Amino acid sequence: MKKVLIPTKLDKFAANLLRQKGYIVTLDDSTPLIDLARDNSDTEVMIVRSEKITAEIIDLMPKLRLIVRAGAGYNTIDTKYARRKNIDVMNTPGANANAVAEEVIAMVLAAFRHVVSGDATMREGKWEKKSMLGSELSGKTIGVIGLGNIGRLLVKRLSGFEMRVLGYDPMIPESYAGKLGIEMCEVEKIFAEADIISLHVPEIPETKNMVNAERLQLMKPGAVLVNCARAGIINEDDLRSAKAEKNIVFCNDVYQKDEPGMKSVVDIADIMLPHLGANTKEANFNAAKMAADQTIAYFEQGITNCVVNKEIPDGLDEKFQKLAFVLSGIAKSALGKNVVPERIETSFYGELSQYAKWMLAPVTAGICGDFDPHTDAADAKSFLASRGIEFINRETDESKQYGNSMTIDVCCLGTKPACVSLRGTIAENNMMVSRIANYDKLYLEPSGYNLFIEYDDAPGVLGKITGLLGEKHINIMDIRAPQDLKNNRSLAVIKTNMEVPNILIEKIKENAKAINVFKFTWTE
């Protein structure tokens, strides 16, 4: 019988269900984790919530095979070290989503109707009704930044308040958002027009300090900012300055560390809670049930859909997964920053055809930076479907003799339909982009800084481009310049020693009369 350790305050449903299935379960949320790990060294499964699972903890349980995070985020678990120890790590995405969505509404209503200060002053025997003129949600504009499980549920829960909903998510097509009653727009428009802004994005390099002085200056005086996502996405010093100037109302539930002690936002938060987003009976039960169900399915049926640190299968070179990520990333860059893909089509040739499902997560991660490329194909399909993006893996014609290669098409089907198709392979142990659209025999090794310029073929254009780069002391490492003879166009792909600044890209586009200019960076 397998032994399960649950060192956290988790609904007893998980322990009871596992015991019914013959598992030996230790449920203890009071003993220090390191002591529990030491005393239960024969543990094979550990179910945790926000506990920090380090290499030291893992090493104390040499029989450990599975760690289940009862919740979505797993940044507290050393997943790479677990992989080296042949331990799978799972999460339970969506279990807490409704709880967080409802918390946002609770905080906004509390702020609009002075619930916290009203209660406190009444208990002091005061009657400060005149100073507590409130606001109603009806008719207001809310901006939801990040439309994953939580963001979409928040929009659904708000539907009865008859609000205008602005949304930003680089993976939600406008056609799909329209069905949800969301007006998609850029982040800056949300900050400028919303009465309430709710943040629901992960903390990754692209979102670190995304709420900064420039965007805060766009906010309406007295607007409400709610952060139930991650602490690092707000620049606290910038918020401090903006709050003093614009009287921004700040509701916060996330911190750098979940522990007792004074918090850095205590002087700027109008409402602050001890990370209560997922702290409901229902969310706790949902997470417990999902954790137990996934554990049972993992051992009894071999189901690994929610494993977040998967290995690659025997026979598949990991470089092909990186290639799938790079090809889809270039395609997304070619479509444009503000263009949301609505369909992805793939073809895998040669021996790669048997590994198609292992490519979907890297492809998805290539067009959405916050998606984990190491997750399962089922998770990637679910992620794409939840955002209204169609996925098609095509049958291949091996008579073309493309060898072990892949073709990835990323398409937008909106008012200005566009589709970018790329083919690539591994040659001499290096990734190789062999075709972009109609530009064949490209043979680009896409590492480093790459600038793509498509233009109507004419003498001297390439010289203008290289001259502009030279003026800014940007060194050219390599140039590829295939032609599309059918359409009389050329594509210059220039590898540089540094990233080309956006202002120079605009100048190149103007001088070359370019049809499209974009950049793509790949570093390991």
The CA distance from 425 to 173, in Å, is 30
The CA distance from 343 to 360, in Å, is 13
CATH topology of domain 3-92+281-301: Rossmann fold (3.40.50)
Q: Would you state the pLDDT for residue 50?
A: 85
Domain ranges (residues) in the chain:
3-92+281-301, 97-272, 318-522
CATH superfamily of 97-272: NAD(P)-binding Rossmann-like Domain (3.40.50.720)
Confidence band, pLDDT 50/70/90 cuts, at residue 368: confident
Residues 6+ apart with CB under 8 A from 334: 420, 436, 452, 516, 518
Q: Would you state the pLDDT for residue 398?
A: 79
Contact 389, 344 (CB under 8 A): yes
Please state, as a whole number, how many other Cβ atoms lie within 10 Å of the Cβ of residue 178.
12
The CA distance from 156 to 160, in Å, is 8
Q: Residue 329 — left, alpha, or beta (φ > 0 → left; ψ -120 to 50 → alpha)?
A: alpha
- More confident: 368 or 129: 129
Contact 374, 434 (CB under 8 A): no
- More confident: 371 or 391: 391
Q: Would you state the pLDDT for residue 359?
A: 92
Confidence band, pLDDT 50/70/90 cuts, at residue 416: low
The CA distance from 99 to 154, in Å, is 10
Residues 6+ apart with CB under 8 A from 101: 150, 153, 154, 156, 157
> Count of residues for the chain?
524
Nearest CA among 122, 140, 123 for reference residue 131? 122
The pLDDT > 90 percentage for the chain reads 79
The CA distance from 62 to 159, in Å, is 50
For the chain, the average pLDDT equals 93
The torsion of the CA quartet 58, 48, 50, 227, rounded to 10 degrees, works out to 140
Examine the pLDDT at 417 and tell me if it is beyond 70. no
Examine the pLDDT at 451 and tell me if it is beyond 70. yes
Burial 103-118 (b: 16+ CB within 10 A, else e): bbbebbebbbebbeeb
Same topology between domain 97-272 and domain 318-522: no
Task: Encode pLDDT of 135-150 as tens digits.
Answer: 999 999 999 999 999 9
The CA distance from 31 to 7, in Å, is 8
Task: Encode pLDDT of 139-181 as tens digits.
Answer: 999 999 999 999 999 999 999 999 999 999 988 888 889 999 9
Q: Would you state the pLDDT for residue 1?
A: 81
- Residue listed under structure tokens 């064949």: 440
Burial 241-264 (b: 16+ CB within 10 A, else e): ebbeebebbbbbbbbeeeeeeebe
DSSP string, 75-124: TTB-HHHHHHTT-EEEE-TTTTHHHHHHHHHHHHHHHHTTHHHHHHHHHT
Q: Would you state the pLDDT for residue 84?
A: 86
Nearest CA among 170, 177, 215 for reference residue 338? 170
Cα distance from N-terminal residue to C-terminal residue, the chain: 42
Neighbouring-strand partners of residue 493: 452, 480
Query: Which stretches within 124-270 are classed as H helix?
Result: 149-158, 174-179, 187-193, 213-216, 236-246
DSSP 500: P
- Residue listed under structure tokens 């080309």: 500
DSSP 250: E
Examine the pLDDT at 415 and tell me if it is beyond 60. no
Was domain 318-522 assigned CATH 3.30.1330.90? yes
